[in-house]
């Protein structure tokens, strides 16, 4: 497929566009090239520890033009899902204040210190034994167990840090329950929400990310053209051991012309 056959591009953020507070070299020019060649560019992140506005503000600080509507994150998708699927429920949230704010804006009642009707687990740097106890008591009542995203770690400029999988695994361990649904990547809900907004078919869209088990798996399942970048958590040895086969593998997003000029 050539550049003029793509109608949109979806980009991961951490490890793909930036690491910590530093833009990955050449990414600004690559995003400009994508916008010229294919049209709309959207940014997808599984991180629920900030809100969409904070991500778009960060992108602008780093020299990438972006509005809040250009960003989709797992916290926002999860809050929208719960508001529609469980509108009368109180949610016990394992997560940080930006995720709680997403639920509040979606009209969902939340609790952080007493059992609720269901559990939503996410990355939470203040996670402790009390959270685990309340999750156990909530799920003993038979309520749903949801998660914003499944990432094991989050890439930063100084290395990887624990992500939501640690909280999810702890709850699964003490309750004997497996999470019922994950709303972030690689869930189809994440990409469906994004492409519905853009108005393009998955087959006409590029997805670029650094995590083979989320970004690339999501794109592969949706029928998108998948581009794995090695600027984040995945290296070439991990590709060899995976059941997922990216359409392209690049050192970084800066090499996107290799995809756009391929015939």
CATH of the domain at 132: 3.40.50.1000
Q: Look at residue 103 and give its three-state secondary structure.
A: helix
6-45 pLDDT per residue, tens: 999 999 999 999 998 999 999 999 999 999 999 999 999 9
Last residue of a domain, one of 182, 213, 229: 182
Structural domain range at position 160? 78-182
Final residue of a structural domain among 182, 207, 239: 182
101 inside domain: yes
pLDDT on residue 3 = 54
b/e map 220-232, b = 16+ CB within 10 Å: bebebbbbbbbbb
CA distance 176 to 136: 10
Task: Kindly state whether residues 125 and 220 are assigned to the same domain.
Answer: no
Q: pLDDT exceeding 70 applies to what percent of the chain?
A: 98
Task: Let me know if residue 249 belongs to a domain.
Answer: yes
The encoded tokens of residue 113 equal 């210190």
Look up the pTM and report it.
0.89
How open is the CA angle 171-176-180, to the nearest 5 degrees? 70
What's the number of domains the chain is made of?
2
Tokens of 55: 């991500």
Find all residues with CB under 8 Å of 149, minimum gap 6, and list them.
46, 47, 48, 74, 122, 123, 163, 164, 182, 183, 184, 185, 214
Task: Look at residue 43 and give its three-state secondary structure.
Answer: strand
Q: What is the pLDDT of residues 202-228, one digit of tens each?
A: 999 999 999 999 999 999 999 999 999
Q: What is the pLDDT of residues 60-93, one digit of tens each?
A: 999 999 999 999 999 999 999 999 999 999 999 9
- Domain presence at residue 19: yes
Catalytic position from the list 14, 151, 210, 215: 14
Closest CA to 205 of 47, 37, 29: 37
Residue 56 falls inside a structural domain: no
pLDDT band at 263 (very low <50, low <70, confident <90, very high): low
Residue 12 designated active-site: yes
């Amino acid at each position: 497929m050539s550049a003029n056959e793509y109608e949109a591009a979806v980009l991961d953020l951490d490890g793909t566009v930036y690491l910590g507070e530093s833009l990955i070299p050449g990414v600004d020019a690559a995003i400009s090239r994508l916008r010229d060649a294919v049209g709309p560019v959207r940014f997808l992140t599984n991180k629920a520890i900030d809100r969409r506005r904070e991500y778009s503000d960060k992108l602008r600080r780093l020299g990438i033009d972006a509005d809040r509507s250009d960003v989709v994150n797992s916290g926002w998708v999860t809050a929208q899902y719960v508001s529609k699927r469980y509108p009368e429920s109180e949610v016990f949230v394992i997560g940080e204040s930006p995720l709680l704010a997403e639920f509040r804006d979606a009209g969902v009642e939340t609790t952080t210190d007493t059992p609720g009707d269901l559990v939503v687990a996410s990355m939470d740097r203040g996670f402790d034994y009390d959270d685990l106890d309340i999750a156990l008591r909530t799920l003993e009542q038979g309520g749903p167990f949801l998660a914003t995203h499944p990432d094991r770690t989050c890439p930063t400029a100084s290395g990887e840090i624990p992500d939501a999988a640690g909280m999810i695994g702890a709850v699964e361990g003490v309750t004997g329950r497996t999470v019922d649904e994950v709303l972030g990547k690689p869930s189809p809900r994440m990409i469906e929400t994004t492409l519905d907004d853009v108005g393009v078919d998955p087959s006409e869209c590029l997805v670029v990310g650094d995590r083979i088990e989320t970004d690339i798996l999501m794109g592969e399942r949706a029928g998108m053209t998948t581009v794995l970048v090695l600027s984040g958590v995945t290296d070439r040895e991990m590709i060899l051991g995976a059941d997922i086969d990216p359409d392209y593998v690049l050192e970084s997003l800066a090499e996107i012309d290799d995809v756009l000029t391929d015939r």
